[in-house]
Amino acid sequence: MTTRHTFWAGLIGLTLLSFLSLFIGVIDVSPRDLISDQETFELLVISRFPRTAATLICGSTLAIAGAIMQMLVRNRFVEPMTAGTGQGAALGVLIVTLTMPSASIFTKMTVASLVALASSLGFLAIIRKMPPTQPLLVPLVGLIYGGLIGAAVTFVAYQADLLQYIGVWMNGEFSGVLQGRYELLWIAAGVGALTYLAADQFAIVGLGRATSINLGLNYSQVVLIGLIAFSVVSALTVTTVGMIPFVGLVVPNIVSRLAGDNLRRTLPLVALMGAGLTLICDILGRILRYPFEIPVGTVFGVVGAALFLWLLYRRPQHG
């Protein structure tokens, strides 16, 4: 099956899943009620549709963000949510909440993006000097770096008595998504889509600095564009639904193993699989302990790890 066929097959599957997602939750909704019952229709518009859309956007854009970051740092074991970008975003929101409590959500988002970008730059500066012969050092340093920023956020929040807010930013889930409170994510969707324009550039940057320059690429500029893209996506996710780990790590790795690293070809697959897996995990989280919910990040950790292990132990094949 070619990449293109896989994509279209996946897209059909995703559409069906999204439809399913609209009808699963504490309140029973069936497609028939929808036509007859005004209240049901409102539930759908106010809660179920926003939740499904948010899940799709976060899943796809976080996977794209992970794929881009892995190309830029030339290491498959990093993702924005664990290497400081997500924590930077949380720090940004915290700073706004402390200094400008009445700031608009747009201001919050801007500051979160800027601080996320700054901490991503910090990460890049740190790993720049690290030996390429030890690829596991990079994610390790990322974890420590992200952990430090995360700890700083928790400490400041504790001092300022804001711990309950922190919980929301640090542990992402979609149950709180309602109409009017998630729309900023469409900006993330836009950024995610725009990155496709630079897919070739990101793929070339993944070949290394020397090869990029040889091919006439403005290396630093492409790296900066990539940094901005995944920082904005992370910041928007953190400010609206909170941090969702693993998506950016697992999905690009699975796609890379199955279809290679030519982002022009594989980025749509990454987005699709990110959206699909996240949606499946969110649906699972809703039904496993019905009527209670398991946060999407927890479910994804388990499902993603299982999928990844399966992939590691089966024979690799690439398109």
Partner 1 sequence: MIRIENLSYAIEGKEILRDITLDVPRSGFTALIGPNGAGKSTFLSLIARLEPLQTGSIHIDDLQIGQCSDRDLAQRLSILPQVPDQPPRLAVRELVGFGRYPYNRGRPTSDDGAKVDHALSVLGITDLAQRSLDTLSGGQRQRAQIAMIFAQDADYVLLDEPLNNLDLAGTRTLLVILRNLAEQHGKTVVMVVHDINIASRYADRIIAMKEGRIVRQGAPDEVIDKALLHDVFATDAMVLSSDFGQVVLV
Q: Which is nearer to partner 1, 191 or 198 (CB)?
A: 198
Q: How far is the CB of 217 from partner 1 (least distance, A)?
A: 7
132: CB partners within 8 A, 6+ apart: 74
Distances (CA, A) of 92 to 104, 110, 117, 254, 260: 14, 9, 10, 31, 35
Query: Residue 270 CB, nearest distance to partner 1 (Å)?
Result: 13
CB of 130 to partner 1, least distance (A): 14
- In whole angstroms, the minimum distance from the beta carbon of 245 to partner 1 comes to 24
Taking the least distance from each CB to partner 1, the nearer of 107 and 214 is 214
Residue 291, preceding peptide bond in cis (omega within 30° of 0): yes
Nearer to partner 1, 49 or 219 (CB): 219
- Nearest-approach distance from CB 75 to partner 1, in angstroms: 10
Alpha helices in 23-74 (DSSP H): 31-36, 38-43, 49-73
Cis status of the peptide bond prior to 268, with omega within 30 of 0: no
The pair of structure tokens assigned to 14 is 């995703």
Judged by beta carbon, residue 114 or residue 207, the one nearer partner 1 is 207
Residue 31 or 208: the one with the smaller Cβ distance to partner 1 is 208
Q: CA 263 from chain center: how many Å?
A: 17
List contacts with partner 1 (CB under 8 A): 74, 132, 199-201, 203-204, 206-211, 213-218, 256-257, 260-262, 264, 318-319
Q: What are phi and psi of 293, to 5 degrees?
A: -120, 145
